[in-house]
Structure 1
């Protein structure tokens, strides 16, 4: 976790272009659905791409939240050495990369790898929460930056959830199987 204000500002500058891309893709999905009678596999693909588009936009929103938090954190002394947060960040970045590669390759095995990684990300989030809450209880001067770090961890966890959603959509595209809610009986 490097202190890079310029990088945080670059992330903030990308929000509008990402939102514009989402709207453009949404428009193309609507055109496809309105103008073509799609076969089942094509319809699954278009519906999944629409959901993936939404997840990618939400990942962008979470990245903006992280960048805004980073700018606030940079105004304070470091709460503690960052160990778990960079590990969590690397893991989430890998999840997003693997989810997108799974889409491009229609790789169900890689999609399942993303799904399996989600629990690790949740574990890091919980560990970071516990550790930072302990710091906050011990030293009130670190409450603000520690709370911001908790929010960063929460946003990273949400990015991991969106990568998981994308991976689930890959399985839907390739196998026609909806694995989003395995306990729901869909008879």
Structure 2
């Protein structure tokens, strides 16, 4: 591999990892704002988003420049393609944390509303998925990425359970409909963040193995994923 290409790849890798740290911080703060009912923390999340947007554009431009300048092939091409896709997923995660922060500010206005305990468990699982999938990207660990993908069904199930609980609240307590709807949206935003973690897991496996595994996770295989048929 040419020295200049290796240098640019290392730089791109570092930039994405730096961005991922910002997004993880946003997710941590947005969920704290919701459960601690702290509007100031929510505002911090909203303010950070513009930084993520700027860095996402910068990384994309650097990826396109590397493609045009070096014309990489095989694994080097997959690395740049993966950075492009992970970069986009991180930006979408950041947008969802902003949405979550906004919902938190709305829920805060209803101090008697009780946030479902299942939502707290769902948040912890999602944060774990985000952390684990970024570790798998750093370590180029397909097995770890596949385990993240396999967790998606659990988050989806928990989201459905939260929604069912909120629907019951809205039926039984008409005065709680508005905060319940905000909480409903918050649960959906968290579930979408987990979906983006799964997208990154797919991309890690593609980067390392050159295999597209989207929608093909299987708990019955040793690696946790299936290759193309």
Task: Please give the range of the TM-score, normalised by the shorter of the 2 chains.
Answer: over 0.9
Once the two structures are TM-superposed, the CA of residue 7 in structure 1 deviates from its matched residue by 1.3
Which residue does 2:209 correspond to in 1?
175
Once the two structures are TM-superposed, the CA of residue 6 in structure 1 deviates from its matched residue by 1.7
User: Alpha carbons of 1:140 and 1:57: their partners in 2 closer, same or farther (altered >3 Å)?
Assistant: same
Which residue does 1:71 correspond to in 2?
105
Which residue does 2:61 correspond to in 1?
27
Cα deviations by residue, 1:6-64 (Å, 9 ceiling, x for unpaired): 21111001110000010000000110111112021111111111010000000000000
Once the two structures are TM-superposed, the CA of residue 80 in structure 1 deviates from its matched residue by 2.4
Higher relative contact order (CA 8 A, sep 6+): 1
Once the two structures are TM-superposed, the CA of residue 95 in structure 1 deviates from its matched residue by 0.5
Whether 1:88 and 2:88 are equivalent positions in the alignment is no
In 1: Cα distance, 2:69 partner to 2:105 partner:
46
**3-state SS, counterpart of residue 57 of structure 2:** helix
Pairs within 5 Å for 1:1-12? 1-12=35-46
Which residue does 2:96 correspond to in 1?
62
Once the two structures are TM-superposed, the CA of residue 141 in structure 1 deviates from its matched residue by 0.5
Which residue does 2:25 correspond to in 1?
none
Match of 1:16 among 50, 57, 63: 50
In 1: Cα distance, 2:171 partner to 2:123 partner:
25
Whether 1:97 and 2:122 are equivalent positions in the alignment is no
Once the two structures are TM-superposed, the CA of residue 81 in structure 1 deviates from its matched residue by 4.9
| Structure 2: runs of 5+ lacking an equivalent | 1-34, 218-227
Once the two structures are TM-superposed, the CA of residue 94 in structure 1 deviates from its matched residue by 0.5
**3-state SS, counterpart of residue 14 of structure 1:** helix
**3-state SS, counterpart of residue 36 of structure 2:** coil
Which residue does 1:117 correspond to in 2?
151
| Structure 1: runs of 5+ lacking an equivalent | none
Whether 1:48 and 2:114 are equivalent positions in the alignment is no
Cα deviations by residue, 1:107-153 (Å, 9 ceiling, x for unpaired): 11110110111111101100000000011011110000000001000
Which residue does 1:132 correspond to in 2?
166
Cα deviations by residue, 1:82-120 (Å, 9 ceiling, x for unpaired): 311111111110000011111011011110110111111
